[in-house]
Amino acid sequence: MNFNLTEEQELVRAGVREFCQKYVEPLAEKVDEEAYFPMETVKKLTEQEWTGIPYPAEYGGAGADYLTYIIVVEELSRACATTGFTLECHTSLASYPLYKFGTEEQKQKYLVPLCKGEMLGSFALTEPGAGTDAGAASTTAVLDGDEYVLNGSKMFISNSPVAGVFIIIAMTDKSKGTKGLSAFIVPGGTPGLKVGEHLNKMGIRGSVTAEVVMKDCRIPKENLLGNEGQGFKIAMMTLDGGRIGIAAQALGIAQAALDESIQYSKERVQFGKPISSFQAIQWMIANMATDVQAARFLTYHAAWCYDQGLPYSKEAAMAKLFASETAARQTNRAIQIHGGIGFIKGHKVERLYRDAKITEIYEGTSEVMRMVISGNLLR
Amino acid sequence: MLNIIACFKWVVDEADVKIDAKSRALLMERVGYKISDYDRNAIEEAVRLQEQHGGNVVAATVGPSTAKQCLKDALSRGPERADFINDPSFVDLEPEQTAAILATAIKAKEEYDLIICGEGSSDLYAQQVGPALAERLGIPCATCVNKLTLAESKKEIIAERKLDDGMEVVSMPLPALVTVLPDINTPRIPTLKQVLGAAKKPVDNITLNDLGQTYKPCLQTTGILAATMERRRLKFGADEKNILVIIGALLKEGVIA
């Protein structure tokens, strides 16, 4: 067993930390306060070649392993969860299905510019009436000559207002339930595709999330991703990998909560001594650090399974479940350690607390994670 | 075309050093290492000049054999190859020893037009290695450089030196050595492909045996303790009379004379 990261992974981590100090941390408050999408940071992520980390160089990626990508998401999220998630959504949700199921032509046309950071990607599965119950999707795709015609609406679609390409899941045969779902590549700006207003969220406020409406949206037949009826499988496999990314995001948030708590407890003086000298605080810090470390091991292990070509669905679900609940619990704890000041807008722990919540919901709720885990165990 | 050697030191990351409150001892069990801060500027400047004028950049370091991790870090920042001058005994070297080791290795195997060092290291900040190396190589040296330009003739380097009492611009015939300040540039963060490509770049492993001589220290470190800041907790009023009291206290503490 080897717990050491490679020299390259360590160097990437050091590089991302420096990057965050220079470009991400200084913007994080504005991103949250003004729900500001940090496009300038996205451009810089591209310059660092972090927009296609786990995909091969022939498709414009860096050809690194998944764990390296996970470390980048973790460190970005530690500084700004919006930035970490924007990269996660782009890499795991939009690029992965193209990489795994795309034809060579589709990869050259869409995956290459995504990996090179020439455009951002978005993934549209959720609908107003179909969240966890993906089979209830009402968006339809009907073949009409050489084109598919898409109609319906998708909800809470991350990156959608800035996306150059969408992976959209739509029903091609309602009678087959989830087996009637198919995946489509829809370029941004396709006539009939409309992206709504940026939704006003509780956390990750800079991440642009909107409704995507398709009204007689026509795309060429060759934009079907995989085969008809494969949409549910494509979506579930995409979310499996994405969950490791969300675990990394949650891990970054939880680590930041711990960092802030350690620093503050050593500085804050009450009854003539730093509050870190009180056992109540010491125990909170000990519990936080232990949870964060456990979340890190689960997350890195899931990424390692992915890299080794081992099954990782259960491991990804465990990592996401534990890391997201750790983030929610420990950001709460961090505010407790900070007391009143932690409750004030503009303080980092207050932002972390709000940013943590979504990690328990998107890309599969905690309840779905428990279903996935138990489903794997009780087969 | 310029052949440039950028020298760097692999140092303890000072952010990781903890202090034992009672004994003031430095606790180093969990420290990480990094390229000394100003040496990153040295490497960046070498790569910048090479991009502008063509040529080669070699990153050179002296350290214990265990410092191998520094090589990928340095090479990911742009140099084509590295000289890793190492021996298990090369720990806590004095600046004079480091300069002598570098000089022997450089004389034996490198052709160069310019050597760039950081002004001082993040750990000792003795500011000695650069000038001592230049002296041993018999080449001109400019310290405290915050701007570097290659003259049109390509035979001289023009260095702007930031001194306490003003700026000085000097021109030196090549080959020459400069030590640089952090203002000279902003080191790039290596891209992912640069990090992944570093392992493929050649490293010349130069051992004490290859150098053919020994390097004795002149100093003996008898102990290292963390600095402390003691507060006197004196309180003064803000009126005229109290100014004299303040001055008296400052005189007594030796802050003013």
Q: Which pLDDT belongs to residue B132?
A: 97
Q: How far apart are CA B240 and CA B68, in angstroms?
A: 62
Residue A252 within a domain: yes
Identify whether residues A214 and A184 lie together within a single domain.
yes
Q: Which pLDDT belongs to residue A134?
A: 83
Instruction: Write the pLDDT tens digit of every residue in A217-246.
Output: 999 999 999 999 999 999 999 999 999 999
pLDDT category, B221, cuts 50, 70, 90?
confident
Q: Which of residues 195-214 of B touch A (CB under 8 A)?
A: 195-196, 198-199
Is the pLDDT reported for residue B21 higher than 90?
no
Which CATH number belongs to the domain containing residue B201 in this structure?
A: 3.40.50.620
Contact state of A8 with B196 under an 8 Å Cβ cutoff: yes
Q: Which pLDDT belongs to residue A160?
A: 97
Query: Average of pLDDT values for B190-194?
Result: 97
| Domain housing B73 | 2-211
Contact state of B192 with A14 under an 8 Å Cβ cutoff: no
Q: How far apart are CA A214 and CA A204, in angstroms?
A: 26
Q: Are A161 and A86 in contact (CB under 8 A)?
A: no
Q: Which residue has the higher pLDDT, A93 or B240?
A: A93
Residue A1 within a domain: no
Q: How far apart are CA A126 and CA A364, in angstroms?
A: 11
Identify whether residues A258 and A359 lie together within a single domain.
yes
Residue B252 within a domain: no
Which CATH number belongs to the domain containing residue A208 in this structure?
A: 2.40.110.10
Residue of A7, A18, A49 with shortest CB distance to B192: A49
Identify whether residues A277 and A251 lie together within a single domain.
yes
Residue B69 within a domain: yes
Is the pLDDT reported for residue B230 higher than 80?
no
Identify whether residues A237 and A369 lie together within a single domain.
yes
Cβ of residue B44 closer than 8 Å to a chain A Cβ = no
pLDDT category, B234, cuts 50, 70, 90?
confident
Identify whether residues A362 and A237 lie together within a single domain.
yes
Identify whether residues A335 and A280 lie together within a single domain.
yes
**Bridge partners of A224?**
A184
Residue B18 within a domain: yes
Select the residue from A4, A7, A55, A266 to test the B interface by mutation, using most B Cβ atoms within 10 A.
A7
Identify whether residues A156 and A254 lie together within a single domain.
no
Query: How many domains does chain A divide into?
Result: 3
Residue A2 within a domain: no
Q: How far apart are CA B172 and CA B167, in angstroms?
A: 16
Annotation says A363 is catalytic? yes
Instruction: Write the pLDDT tens digit of every residue in B162-181.
Output: 999 999 999 999 999 999 99
Query: How many domains does chain B divide into?
Result: 1
Measured from the Cβ of residue B123, the count of other Cβ atoms closer than 10 Å reads 15
Residue A181 within a domain: yes
Strands B2-7 and B114-118: parallel
Select the residue from B11, B194, B195 to test the A interface by mutation, using most A Cβ atoms within 10 A.
B195
Q: Which pLDDT belongs to residue B81?
A: 97
- Of A182, A215, A231, the last residue of a domain is A231
Which CATH number belongs to the domain containing residue A343 in this structure?
A: 1.20.140.10
Annotated active-site residue in A18, A260, A363, A367: A363
Contact state of B191 with A48 under an 8 Å Cβ cutoff: yes
In order of A68, B41, B72, the CA distances from A7 in angstroms are 11, 22, 8
Q: Which pLDDT belongs to residue A283?
A: 98
Residue of B69, B76, B196 with shortest CB distance to A64: B196
Name chain A contacts of B199, Cβ cutoff 8 Å.
Answer: 7-8
Residue B145 within a domain: yes
Q: Which pLDDT belongs to residue B239?
A: 87
Q: Which residue has the higher pLDDT, B153 or B35?
A: B35
Is the pLDDT reported for residue B254 higher than 90?
no
Look over chain B and give the mean of its residue pLDDT values, rounded to a whole number. Answer: 94
Identify whether residues A259 and A365 lie together within a single domain.
yes
Name chain A contacts of B193, Cβ cutoff 8 Å.
Answer: 49, 57, 62
Q: Which pLDDT belongs to residue A48?
A: 98
Q: Which pLDDT belongs to residue A135?
A: 83
Q: How far apart are CA A90 and CA A88, in angstroms?
A: 5
Select the residue from B192, B194, B200, B203 to test the A interface by mutation, using most A Cβ atoms within 10 A.
B192
- Of A91, A119, A147, the last residue of a domain is A119
Identify whether residues A269 and A351 lie together within a single domain.
yes
- Of A168, A199, A231, the last residue of a domain is A231
Which CATH number belongs to the domain containing residue A103 in this structure?
A: 1.10.540.10
State which residues of chain A have pLDDT below 70: none
Residues 6+ apart with CB under 8 A from B18: B26, B27, B30
**Is residue B131 reached through a cis peptide bond, with omega within 30 degrees of 0 on the bond before it?**
no
Residue B229 within a domain: no
Q: How far is B188 from chain A (nearest CA, A)?
A: 9
Q: How large is the angle between the packed helices A39-47 and A81-88, nearest 10 degrees? A: 60
Measured from the Cβ of residue A282, the count of other Cβ atoms closer than 10 Å reads 13
Residue B173 within a domain: yes
Q: How far apart are CA B2 and CA B52, in angstroms?
A: 10
| Domain housing A264 | 233-377
Contact state of A50 with B72 under an 8 Å Cβ cutoff: no
